[in-house]
Amino acid sequence: MTRPAPDARPSLSEIARIVRDDDPEKLAQILATGATIAEIEKAVLWASGAEDVLGEAPHPLEGAAARVYDILTADAPDEDERR
């Protein structure tokens, strides 16, 4: 199986594989952003806390990647709620 190009628009099944979630509402919201595979992958990295490893600016996500990040983290507990 060949991997789709990073700048390709993913299908719902590809989004589910990338974000490791099968919530149809969340997947539809992500699809509606028009994000590319690369943008979704970047948002997933940031949502998982990998920004520490990426060593980038405090919040370099823009456009579709930022919208995907917001969708992925919408139901995550706030820092204060985790304490």
Domain range list for the chain: 12-75
60 Cα distance to chain centroid: 13
| Higher per-residue pLDDT: 53 or 21 | 21
SS3 12: helix
Each residue's pLDDT tens digit, 29-73 = 999 999 999 999 999 999 988 655 555 555 678 999 999 999 999
pTM exceeding the 0.85 threshold for the entire prediction: no
How is residue 6 written in tokens? 């990073």
